[in-house]
Chain A
């Protein structure tokens, strides 16, 4: 039986124009066999979660290098839970201090990635999450 394709939303919330990482990750996930919907820049938590509902996405990946990660992740998590997407994976990457990574964990964002993290690590993380879900 063929593995069902993992569907990933990638988005840049807020006013952060640094889209290099988001685009590179989007492309790497596609090459790893996943389906990616890239929403682009200047998204709001609302627009991201709306897209996640419409696309019935498995994974929501957020890229933030602007320092607004706590505000955006918190709001996106709330909205996802409210929209019945509590069982989906919320993750992301950017310039996120270690201390904030711990705070993100508390609100249910288990892992985020940073500069220098390997693309394969991101792919593996999503695949392992999916495998654990299937069990």
Chain B
């Protein structure tokens, strides 16, 4: 094989005539028609790829990968009241799901009680409403929290939702040390993409560090933070932006914890990640492989972590909600299957597959079952879980992995030049980069540069296939508000006032806030009451609107 051969092929390729199509990736990356050994020239596979379970972990975080343990099938779920969601969890566990993942409603995500004026119309709509410890108890009723791992998608009020979770475990006699799960607790990506914050960045970062310290000492099996690219991608970023911004957020958390005096090897093993899996199959796989390699290198070389467990980029993957279409919703099953496959080939530790009806509403039971079955087909029928990192060594995948890694490094330099992640957020850097990418993607669809089946091509005109969708009854809001009023009447209100005041004082000082939060949760202080106490000290955050 010589250079001459490659030029001869190139000539034939150019003469052979091409389809009238766009040959860039979904992120706008220009792609070669063919990748060859020349693309890997000068790259030593032994050091660049290594072995599964060995630095730099390009090929996976475990030596045996899915032969040892399949990924956890974890469907994100939550709607309506805690009782309704509890019922859905039992349904999913019964169908073979292996972990829980809690979706909270919007008021909860903003740290507001269900009776807050801004909560009107939103209670229980896109997740479950949790106002007090009593709701937490109902949410997990009959579920063995010491045996099932629980992931909670909560960020701004993560510390006090976790306090309620701990108080509930306490009431059931489960020692904190036996609790397993993950708190998303990633506030930086909220400012960047998801937009659910309460305070300015610094107090939120303090709470995150407090939680890391608390969990190190008391809840050692808990993943304290799930550094998330998912929402960055959903907001319209490219694959490289998702990769770079997520890892940059990770570095920022590491630096805050180090500044607070923690030892890197004490907290880094409990950091986990959460990535999107979008439609561009190989680009997604490369992104996930690159994430492991970049994280390992920075943790080892830059932050001097000594424990190999600190070097691991372990991650959850969710298929791309933004790739689902309201048109011909059944075909979303196929999109999700491809995206899930990319997540698996990228070496994820857990996976959520979206349901076909999510461009229309929250998923129905039937749709969720199909989504879970999609994972099971990948795991048990397709054979992809049998061999470790099956695409390792592919000229294309290895080249893309390297390209994405280099792009991410270029972004890290730009972020550093802006003064770090928090300063870059304040300057709107990430937000602008993402908004621009989102617009370019949409224009690509509008101009039919990119094809979406059923949307701008192969459209079924005049016939809109209906699938049954889940409806959240308006009465749920009234019920939830009524229950909150009952709790507020029944609880020891003097104790609540005392503990909220103690919390406020602690916030004004510098002590760890998790113990006073736990104290408040135990006496049924409501989520929004706790937020209010903290806002008095920390203030609120406002974003300058732009487009």
Residues of A within 8 A of B (CB): 10, 14-20, 22-24, 26-28, 36, 38-42, 44, 65-68, 70-72, 95, 97-99, 114-116, 118-120
- CB <8 Å contact, A97 and B469: yes
Minimum distance in angstroms from A123 CB to a CB of chain B: 10
Taken together as a complex, chains A and B put the C-alpha atoms of A134 and B122 apart, in Å, by: 38
Taken together as a complex, chains A and B put the C-alpha atoms of A38 and B125 apart, in Å, by: 25
A–B pairs, 6, beta carbons within 8 Å: A15-B109, A67-B122, A67-B361, A70-B474, A99-B471, A115-B359
- CB <8 Å contact, B452 and A17: no
Closest 5 CB pairs of A and B: A40-B545, A71-B121, A17-B195, A67-B125, A68-B121
- CB <8 Å contact, B361 and A14: no
Contacts of B157 in A (CB 8 A): none
Contacts of A39 in B (CB 8 A): 545
For window 495-547 of chain B, which residues contact chain A by CB distance below 8 Å? 543-547
- CB <8 Å contact, B126 and A66: yes
What DSSP secondary structure best describes chain A's contact surface? mixed
- CB <8 Å contact, B452 and A116: yes
Minimum distance in angstroms from A11 CB to a CB of chain B: 9
Taken together as a complex, chains A and B put the C-alpha atoms of A46 and B521 apart, in Å, by: 34
Taken together as a complex, chains A and B put the C-alpha atoms of A57 and B119 apart, in Å, by: 27
Task: From known contacts A26-B547, A67-B125, A116-B455, infer whether A20 and B120 are also in contact, taking CB-CB under 8 Å.
Answer: no
- CB <8 Å contact, B452 and A95: no
The number of inter-chain residue pairs (CB within 8 angstroms) is 122
Contacts of A14 in B (CB 8 A): 106, 118, 120-122
Contacts of B362 in A (CB 8 A): 67
- CB <8 Å contact, A20 and B438: yes
For window 346-369 of chain B, which residues contact chain A by CB distance below 8 Å? 358-362
Minimum distance in angstroms from B27 CB to a CB of chain A: 15
Q: Which of B125, B322, B452, B464 contacts A68 (CB 8 A)?
A: B125
Taken together as a complex, chains A and B put the C-alpha atoms of A72 and B106 apart, in Å, by: 15
Contacts of B325 in A (CB 8 A): 115-116
Q: Which of B118, B121, B235, B443 has the largest count of A CB atoms less than 10 A from its CB?
A: B121
Task: From known contacts A14-B121, A24-B236, A66-B126, infer whether A116 and B442 are also in contact, taking CB-CB under 8 Å.
Answer: no
Count of chain B residues near A, Cβ 8 A: 52
Contacts of A72 in B (CB 8 A): 121
Taken together as a complex, chains A and B put the C-alpha atoms of A51 and B35 apart, in Å, by: 55
Task: From known contacts A15-B118, A116-B326, infer whether A20 and B235 are also in contact, taking CB-CB under 8 Å.
Answer: yes
Q: Which of B117, B194, B438 has the largest count of A CB atoms less than 10 A from its CB?
A: B438
- CB <8 Å contact, B126 and A41: no
Minimum distance in angstroms from B318 CB to a CB of chain A: 15
Task: From known contacts A22-B547, A67-B472, infer whether A15 and B122 are also in contact, taking CB-CB under 8 Å.
Answer: yes
Contacts of B190 in A (CB 8 A): 17
Minimum distance in angstroms from B524 CB to a CB of chain A: 23
Q: Which of B195, B327, B361 contacts A41 (CB 8 A)?
A: B195
Check: B39 CB closer than 8 A to any chain A CB. no
- CB <8 Å contact, A95 and B196: no
Contacts of A66 in B (CB 8 A): 106, 122, 125-126
Check: B386 CB closer than 8 A to any chain A CB. no
Taken together as a complex, chains A and B put the C-alpha atoms of A98 and B326 apart, in Å, by: 10
Contacts of B234 in A (CB 8 A): 18, 20
Contacts of A98 in B (CB 8 A): 360, 464, 466
Chain B 120-143 against A: per-residue CB contact (8 Å), 1 yes, 0 no?
111001100000000000000000
Check: B439 CB closer than 8 A to any chain A CB. yes
Q: Which of A10, A24, A67, A71 has the largest count of B CB atoms less than 10 A from its CB?
A: A67
- CB <8 Å contact, B543 and A41: yes
Taken together as a complex, chains A and B put the C-alpha atoms of A119 and B456 apart, in Å, by: 11
- CB <8 Å contact, A38 and B235: no
Task: From known contacts A98-B466, A118-B456, infer whether A15 and B112 are also in contact, taking CB-CB under 8 Å.
Answer: yes
Given contacts A23-B439, A116-B452, 5 further A-B contacts (CB under 8 A): A15-B106, A26-B547, A40-B545, A67-B122, A97-B471
Minimum distance in angstroms from A127 CB to a CB of chain B: 16
- CB <8 Å contact, A119 and B545: no
Contacts of A42 in B (CB 8 A): 118
Task: From known contacts A16-B106, A20-B322, infer whether A68 and B120 are also in contact, taking CB-CB under 8 Å.
Answer: yes
Taken together as a complex, chains A and B put the C-alpha atoms of A42 and B195 apart, in Å, by: 10
Task: From known contacts A15-B112, A24-B236, A98-B466, infer whether A118 and B545 are also in contact, taking CB-CB under 8 Å.
Answer: no
Contacts of A71 in B (CB 8 A): 120-122
Taken together as a complex, chains A and B put the C-alpha atoms of A40 and B428 apart, in Å, by: 14
Contacts of A116 in B (CB 8 A): 325-327, 359, 452, 454-455
Taken together as a complex, chains A and B put the C-alpha atoms of A16 and B196 apart, in Å, by: 8
Taken together as a complex, chains A and B put the C-alpha atoms of A92 and B387 apart, in Å, by: 48
Check: B82 CB closer than 8 A to any chain A CB. no
